[in-house]
Amino acid sequence: MEKLFKTHPIEAWLLIIIVATSAVLSVASTQYLTLVNAFDLLNSISINVIFAVGLLVVLISGGIDISFAVAASVVQYVAFYVLSYLGGGNWFIGFIVAGGLGIVLGAINAGLIHYFRIISIVVTIATFNIFFGLLMFLTRGVYLYDLPDWWTNRIIVFEHEMANGTWAELTLPAVVMFGAILATWLLITYSSIGRQIYAFGDNPEGARRIGINIVAVQFIAYGWMGMMAGIAGLMQAHFVQEIVPNALIGRELDVLAAVVLGGATLGGGRGTVLGCVLGVLLMAIIQNGLNLLGVTPFAFKAIVGVIILLAITLSNVSFVELRAHLRMQKGQ
């Protein structure tokens, strides 16, 4: 732990806050520290985590993506029609189609950013409008209910009956989430291109000088984001058993806030998978806790907003400087 504090202070702090919050909640609510609630929590954060690890890679590369949530909705619709054209499909084809469509949408962002030298926030604001506008226009906002059975049937990967007769269940999205976490961790820690994404985000000019393939870095970062968005879209439709065109819009900013809470910055070159997951987890625990404590859902967002504001303020104020400042004032 001490070592973690030294090398990854943000992750260590998040861990402590999560443990402390959990301790408080388990005292305040008997339902909190149960396997049922823990599994529910994992199932419910899975989609946001899948988005988050994708966004993490883009942030590390020094970019930002606002369009991924609506991209996921686009993927849902297109995948639906592609799959019915293919005769229904199955999970394997589903992942290939959703991931592939996501990569295409990510590549559009990467191409605009790289070839026309437009900054990422402008590009993704534009593609956000394009994706969403076209989706709503072409689908006329119609919901899709008649998804293939394989897509909507709940898959319970692990279950356990509790003493009181309730079931603790871990479902497919949670497993896919672990897969996404693992894959992203491998990408940014052990692959050559992953380290190059870090390097490019850290010092773009330095990266250019040592011959890092910048085109590859951009396309892989946004492509990875797109792929994760596609998979998250697939999972979200599985979760709610329907496709709603505006179900995911607005999610992008919540995910961004969580990832940044986890230590990634908009400057690039920083961020870890652990921090990113802990960021999402903390937000979910707070919501879950407020829920268990009987706080009205209307107040959730306000509280979450305050927490994010405090977190980014505190994580960006240098305490060493502040202390030195106060000490000096006292000394005079």
Partner 1 sequence: MTTTNRNKIKRYMESEVAGLSIFLIAVVIAFSLASPNFLTATNLSSMAIQLPELGLLTLAMLIPILSGGLNLSITYTANMSGLALAWTLQAFGGPEAGVEAFILGCALALSVGALSGFVIGVVVAYSKAHPILVSLAMMIFMRGIGEFLSRGKDITGFPQFVQNIGQGDIWGVPIPLLVFIACAVVWHIILSRTRQGFGTYMLGSNIMATAYSGISTKRNLIVLYTLSGLMCAVAGIIMLSRFNSVRVGHGESFLLITVLACFLGAVNPFGGFGRVVPVVLALMILQVLTSGLNILGANQHLSTALWGFFLIAVMVLRWAWWQYSIKRK
Partner 2 sequence: MIPVIQFSNVSKTFGGVRALINIDFEVMPGEVHCLAGENGCGKSTLIKIISGVYDPDPGATLTLMGQEYETLSPAQARRVGVGVIWQDHALFPEMSVAENIAIEGFVSSKSKLVRHKKIKDVAQKVCERLGVSFELDALVKTLPIAQRQLIAICRALVSDVRIVFMDEPTASLTQSETKHLLDVVRTLTAENVAVVFVSHRLTEVLEIANRVTVLRDGQKVGVYDASEMTLAKLTEKMTGLTINPAVVDQDLSKNETVLEVKQISRAGEYEDISFSIAQGEVVGITGLLGAGRTELALSLFGMTRPEQGQIYLHGKEVEFKSNLDAISSGVAYVSEDRLSLGLIQDQSIENNLALTVLDKALAFGSLLSFKKKRTIVDHWIEELGVKSGNTSDAISTLSGGNQQKVAIAKWLATNPKLLILDAPTVGVDVGAREGIFEIVRDLAGKGLSILLISDEVSEVYFNSNRVLHMSSGCIQKEYVPARCDISELEDAIYGKAI
236-275 residues near partner 1, rule: CB under 8 A: 253-254, 256-257, 260, 265-267
What are the CB-based long-range contacts (under 8 Å, 24+) for 139-144? 139/77, 139/245, 141/245, 141/246, 142/245, 143/242, 143/243, 143/244, 143/245, 144/77, 144/80, 144/242, 144/243
Q: How far is CA 281 from CA 160, 251, 323, in A?
A: 22, 15, 31
Give the one residue of 209, 294, 296, 320 binding partner 2; rule: CB under 8 A: 209
129-158 residues near partner 1, rule: CB under 8 A: 129-137
Report the sign of the C-alpha dihedral through residues 256, 156, 176, 236, in that order.
Answer: negative
Q: Is 268 left (phi over 0), alpha (psi -120 to 50) or beta?
A: left
Give the one residue of 13, 68, 128, 239 binding partner 1; rule: CB under 8 A: 128
The one of partner 2, partner 1, none whose footprint includes residue 253, by CB under 5 to 8 A per kind, is: partner 1
210 in contact with partner 2 (CB under 8 A):
yes
- Three-class SS string for 283-332? HHHHHHHHHHCCCCHHHHHHHHHHHHHHHHHHHHCCHHHHHHHHHHHHHC
**At 243, is the secondary structure helix, strand, or coil?**
strand
Q: Binding residues for partner 2, how many (CB under 8 A)?
A: 25
Closest approach, Cβ 325 to partner 2, in A, equals 9
270 in contact with partner 2 (CB under 8 A):
yes
The one of partner 2, partner 1, none whose footprint includes residue 122, by CB under 5 to 8 A per kind, is: partner 1
242 in contact with partner 2 (CB under 8 A):
no
Query: CA 297 to CA 301: how far, in whole Å?
Result: 8
224 in contact with partner 1 (CB under 8 A):
no
205 in contact with partner 2 (CB under 8 A):
yes
Report the sign of the C-alpha dihedral through residues 317, 318, 321, 327, in that order.
Answer: positive
Nearer to partner 2, 194 or 262 (CB): 194
Nearer to partner 1, 318 or 329 (CB): 318
Q: How far is CA 93 from CA 96, 137, 202, in A?
A: 5, 27, 37
Closest approach, Cβ 253 to partner 1, in A, equals 6
Site string for partner 2, 164-203 (x = CB under 8 A): --------------------------xxxxxxx-xx--xx
The one of partner 1, partner 2, none whose footprint includes residue 209, by CB under 5 to 8 A per kind, is: partner 2
Residue 11 CA neighbour count, 13 Å, CB half? 17
| Interacting residue ranges for partner 2, rule: CB under 8 A | 190-196, 198-199, 202-203, 205-213, 269-270, 328, 331-332
| Interacting residue ranges for partner 1, rule: CB under 8 A | 64, 66, 112, 116-119, 121-123, 125-137, 253-254, 256-257, 260, 265-267, 296, 298-306, 308-309, 312-318
